[in-house]
Structure 1
């Protein structure tokens, strides 16, 4: 064994232990860094060819590895924009030049200049903007991700387009339909008329209906759109006859205060028959037009048979500006009290969008009247907060309490996370050894979930690092002794020449 080999071994050992001390120092100083992953130094021997009688000293090589795939402890904070990943995956972030990176550091805040969500290292959180037709991420690409920016959602309104109205209609409710009572014609009337019908109506309310038929003609319907007296109802029916939407009758009020429809057919004796349907139950639902004006939609329900109810909607905010489209329909129930399709009412909101009211959740059971309703859309309001869901959806929370889905945050990973290349700012980029991106949404396809108001801490254990520091110090000292001894022997050898 040559003295040069001894010197080489000592230097190699000192360099290796120096690398180990470097990773220990880095771990200790980053023990409080959000999302930091511990580095370690692994050694491997380098053996040189030797003969049976002569040993040729080799050396040791070192390689730094990171435990990037290990979960760190999660601690909860007071900031709702702090995000932690529980399970597999990394946040996708970008630097100021737009280059993408991966990180577990989720200490995001809103940047006052750009409105973007950035973490403590200045990297911008990336996500998919909802409402842009993006069905889902590319499985192996980050195409389509944009900075999560909440400033574009400030002070905006959206018109209502859909809503639900569901609950139970009482099976025991009384049937609200009554046939009109036929009366004799006035023999002195000029021109002569043959018949009339009297309805048991007093003060009318929105949603009540008057249906009548003149002779063998078609059934005609008049829907009450707002509360009114019988005299006002008679005047409205006569106005509708004048306008041509109704025909063949003249409306009046009997001495006892009932609505009377009399045939105006001058050519033949024609009877008038009909029914009057009163309101059984009523509710209302608030919707919004295109600019965010609130409009109250009055909903009335009338039981017309053992298995049928009618539902009628009207503009409760301004009865002079009625809803258009289909404003009334039948709700039919089977013997089990379950609704029979179709159960969607399509009408138009004044100044707004076409609106679909889904009533597929209605039942008719032996219980109380108990209904709930909801609709989309919102009035003009400023964003006051940002809310994050476990599935990665980012909601803009407005001052009026409305929550609107703005973005959805993807998670990305690689086949071998421990082989990612660490970069400044606690971010990582893929390498040939790590493999390419695999992208998905939280809580799907093996990806973890996102916890709001929490941060993932460093996975460094100080006790372990101090132990490793002592080991590296001891080995470094021992290797320095080998080098020192080899140097002294070399000096002795050189002195022999003199």
Structure 2
């Protein structure tokens, strides 16, 4: 009977609009969920064959849920370097456990990049999923494998220690006053090989020859310790473009095997008439035209200038970049001393580049590459199935994954200090809320009206 079919049609309207209301409720509830993708229930009419002429049987409506996974939300600024967003297509590959990851562990896909560092140093997002990537080896080399998710592991930024880097170069930016030091007189006749050396004066001001100028620099040794090395200068009265110079240790006791206390090198530093450093005639580093360099042997060395045995460290070989060492008629000053090398440090933070490379930044200035984030793409991302935690799993409708390096092969870029916002528009959702409520009320009205019509039919007998 047509009236009965109207009842069923009204019931299908209630069911379909209930589903729509549920989707709208989820959308509104997740307005502030990072990278949430809105759902929408679309209606499709149901039609049965009308075999009796002049009769019509209502078939009702069916509900089909559609995910807007490919619709990107706005990229918004965030406060943490581990808050990351994908600008473009693709998903982060994540797991629900940190380590070890095996073939049997499921992989999930998400655009929710609100990652923080857990107690074990792993990057985990608000949904409890751990970020996967291709890890760097001991040499900092990354070997991406797009075809095998098992090559990706959870990224850890704390389970790494900074390597000690010995100082191998010091860039010197200084000027020696060509006019000399007014009123300055050496405390005795200068001789680099006797107790009249500037190294003696540095060790004991009651002895030796007082320099016109001294600057000190820090060098990192093989164990990560800091050693103080000084350069002292005394202008040669007989040659206005020449300075006696010594390189010595502070304190002197850290150097063994030298002629004078702590002395590492002694000789002349010469300048051209335009005030620039003249390497071709300087003898501080050996015969004229020798590269500006000083060497200190290991503590275990049997002879020669070396570190004291009590230090127990390897030797140092340091190049001095004296390109910016000048002799102008202006005050003697050190503008900068820039040694390379670094001591052992602690991790301060992580950095994520646009190409997905994750690095650890240490408090000693060292940066170490940890790995690279892989971006998974699908032929039909809207066909993925959603799971708890704002993540998705692969289905036959989505097609098979392809993991790529960011910015390659259609994969999006990775943006640090950023999060993708939900793609929910509240104005649209509230409008749909009103429409759905009205449609639900209308469907219920169909049922009550059909019921009244059936009552009338039953009452015909009376």
TM-score, length of structure 2 as denominator length? 0.64
Report the aligned-residue RMSD: 4.0
Does 1:292 find its partner at 2:277? Answer: no
Return closer, same or farther for 1:159/1:401 CA change in 2, 3 Å cut-off.
closer
What secondary structure, in the 3-state scheme, does the structure 2 residue paired with 1:143 have?
Answer: helix
Which of 136, 142, 152 aligns to 2:149? It is 142
- Residue aligning to 1:431: 395
For 1:293-308, what aligned pairs fall within 5 Å after superposition?
Answer: 293=225
Does 1:125 find its partner at 2:131? Answer: yes
Query: Which sections of structure 2, spanning at least 5 residues, go unmatched?
Result: 99-104, 172-189, 195-216, 230-246, 248-264, 270-276, 282-288, 299-303, 308-312, 324-336
Report the alpha carbon displacement of residue 296 of structure 1 after superposing the two structures with TM. 9.7
1:141/1:438 contact within 8 Å kept: no
Counterpart CA distance in 2 for 1:388 and 1:116 is 14
Return closer, same or farther for 1:126/1:164 CA change in 2, 3 Å cut-off.
farther
Report the alpha carbon displacement of residue 157 of structure 1 after superposing the two structures with TM. 2.2
Return closer, same or farther for 1:165/1:443 CA change in 2, 3 Å cut-off.
farther
> May I ask how many residue pairs the two structures share in their alignment?
349
Report the alpha carbon displacement of residue 428 of structure 1 after superposing the two structures with TM. 0.8
Does 1:406 find its partner at 2:370? Answer: yes
Counterpart CA distance in 2 for 1:352 and 1:144 is 40
Counterpart CA distance in 1 for 2:339 and 2:373 is 27
- Residue aligning to 1:5: 5
Does 1:458 find its partner at 2:422? Answer: yes
For 1:303-452, what aligned pairs fall within 5 Å after superposition?
Answer: 311=291, 313-315=293-295, 320-321=305-306, 351=314, 378-452=342-416
Cα deviation 1:139-170 (Å, max 9, x = unaligned): 2332221112122114x424569x8999xxxx
Counterpart CA distance in 2 for 1:439 and 1:310 is 54
- Residue aligning to 2:437: 473
Counterpart CA distance in 1 for 2:461 and 2:315 is 105
- Residue aligning to 1:274: none
Counterpart CA distance in 2 for 1:352 and 1:449 is 45
- Residue aligning to 2:64: 63
Larger Rg: 1
Cα deviation 1:358-408 (Å, max 9, x = unaligned): x9xx9xxxxxxxxx9986x64211112222222212221111121111222
- Residue aligning to 2:197: none
Report the alpha carbon displacement of residue 26 of structure 1 after superposing the two structures with TM. 0.6
Structure having the larger proportion of residues in strand: 1
Counterpart CA distance in 2 for 1:164 and 1:99 is 49
Counterpart CA distance in 2 for 1:295 and 1:128 is 38
Report the alpha carbon displacement of residue 2 of structure 1 after superposing the two structures with TM. 2.0
Return closer, same or farther for 1:91/1:165 CA change in 2, 3 Å cut-off.
farther
What secondary structure, in the 3-state scheme, does the structure 2 residue paired with 1:115 have?
Answer: coil
Query: Which sections of structure 1, spanning at least 5 residues, go unmatched?
Result: 167-202, 205-227, 231-283, 323-349, 363-371
- Residue aligning to 1:176: none
Cα deviation 1:173-195 (Å, max 9, x = unaligned): xxxxxxxxxxxxxxxxxxxxxxx
- Residue aligning to 1:110: 117
